[in-house]
Amino acid sequence: MTQENVELLILGSGPAGYTAAIYAGRAGLKPVMYQGMQPGGQLTITNDVENFPGYPDGVQGPQMMEDLQKQAERFGLDNRYGMATSVDFSTPLAHKVIVDETHEITAKAVIIATGASAKWLGLESEQRLNGMGVSACAVCDGFFYRGKDVAIVGAGDTACEEAHYLSKLCKKVTMLVRRDEFRASTIMQERVKNTPNIEILFNTETEEVLGDNGVTGVRVRNKVTGETKEIALDGFFVAIGHQPNTDIFKGYLDMDDAGYLIVEKGSSRTNIPGVFASGDAQDKIYRQAITAAGSGCMAALDAERYLGEFH
């Protein structure tokens, strides 16, 4: 195993990681980044981004991530491919991170920006049509289905919030709920139930998303009657939860039941001094590129202050 010491290590290369790198680089902290499993993060599988401030004509998700990368590298980011596979955060100012099980890095401070991954149903058709009518983000992609018919799977607060969001843009939204009740809070349930262009199908499982080069419909099955039917659609949204990419921090960092890292209110500080968390790995509510970027900035400023105490 090779070994190396660094001042500041950033794990993850989405908007949180790169924003942290820009601030840390400009502060002279010589950040080293490992990009993780999906270099550029979730935005690299998004098409148009129209809600990131500063882009009046919108920007392609992959382009935005390239721009962020260039901006961070301009300020000296040492940017590397590789994935953190285990950590040991037991020694202050000497936090150990193993990358790809072959390289050990000891860092005085670590910024976690490992993000979260959308959960999928696991259907072959869902995977094949991903980005061609199948999406896990209504706020990102709903706009492309103005005046069209869409379906959304899920029964939690996210599914209700996204169904309501889509109902303002789309002609009709069909909610596919697998049980005979919602999981969402009552207020969110009431909101979708009282929206005339949202139809809720309970006890309904998705068998297949239909279409060759784009979504044309979905085949669903009623779990009680066993009856199957096809619904014509232009877009198919999945909102069945996210999984924060935080498994390797278990045992060291405080997290909630779903695995989201817990930070001190109004900061990026975790329970371990010198380890800071940003982006979707610690945010189950907002999950936007702009909020991730903002929290990456906070993490870099917190790390700078922390490291400043030891110089």
CB of 102 to ligand NDP, least distance (A): 35
The residue within the footprint of ligand NDP, chosen from 226, 285, 309, 311 (CB under 6 A), is: 285
**Which residue of the set 67, 78, 100, 140 is catalytic?**
140
**Residue 137 a catalytic site member:** yes
User: Minimal distance in Å, beta carbon 183 to ligand NDP?
Assistant: 3
- Strand 134-135: give its sheet, edge to edge: 134-135, 235-238, 149-153, 172-176, 198-201
> In the range 242-281, which residues lie near ligand NDP by CB under 6 A?
none
Nearer to ligand NDP, 74 or 128 (CB): 128
Determine the residue with CB nearest ligand NDP. Answer: 156
Say how far residue 82 (Cα) sits from the centre of its chain. 19
Q: For residues 279 and 40, is the Cβ–Cβ distance under 8 A?
A: no
**Which residue out of 67, 141, 149, 297 is catalytically annotated?**
141
Residue 170 among the catalytic residues: no
Length of the chain: 311
**The tokens of 307 are what?**
């490291």
Question: Is 83 or 215 the residue whose CB approaches ligand NDP more closely?
Answer: 215
DSSP state of 155: -
**Considering beta carbons, is residue 242 or 269 the nearer one to ligand NDP?**
242
Q: In whole angstroms, how close is the CB of 18 to ligand NDP at the nearest point?
A: 25
How far apart are CB 240 and ligand NDP at their closest, in Å? 4
| Of residues 156 and 273, the one with the C-beta less far from ligand NDP | 156
Residue of 284, 290, 291, 301 that binds ligand NDP (CB under 6 A):
284
Q: How far apart are CA 33 and CA 248, in angstroms?
A: 17
Chain residues 100-159 in contact with ligand NDP, contact rule CB under 6 A: 121, 153-159
Which one of residues 58, 241, 259, 294 is an interface residue with ligand NDP (CB under 6 A)?
A: 241
E-assigned strand segments in the chain:
2-11, 32-34, 48-49, 59-60, 78-80, 84-88, 95-99, 103-112, 116-118, 134-135, 149-153, 172-176, 198-201, 204-210, 217-222, 228-232, 235-238, 242-244, 275-277
Residue of 271, 289, 290, 297 lying closest to 42 (CA atoms):
289
Distance CA(237)–CA(158), nearest Å, equals: 11
How many residues in the shown chain lie near ligand NDP by CB under 6 A?
A: 16
Residues 157-186 that bind ligand NDP (CB under 6 A): 157-159, 161, 178-179, 183
Q: Which of 100, 137, 170, 297 is catalytic?
A: 137
Sole binder of ligand NDP in the list 45, 169, 240, 290 (CB under 6 A): 240
Which residue lies nearer to ligand NDP by CB, 99 or 160?
Answer: 160
CB 17 within 8 A of CB 11: yes
Amino acid symbol at 302:
D
Q: Is 141 a catalytic residue?
A: yes
DSSP state letters, 251-282: TTS-B-TT-PBP--TTS-B-SSTTEEE-GGGG
Nearer to ligand NDP, 25 or 235 (CB): 235
Binding site for ligand NDP (CB under 6 A): 121, 153-159, 161, 178-179, 183, 240-241, 284-285
| Active site (catalytic) residues | 137, 140-141
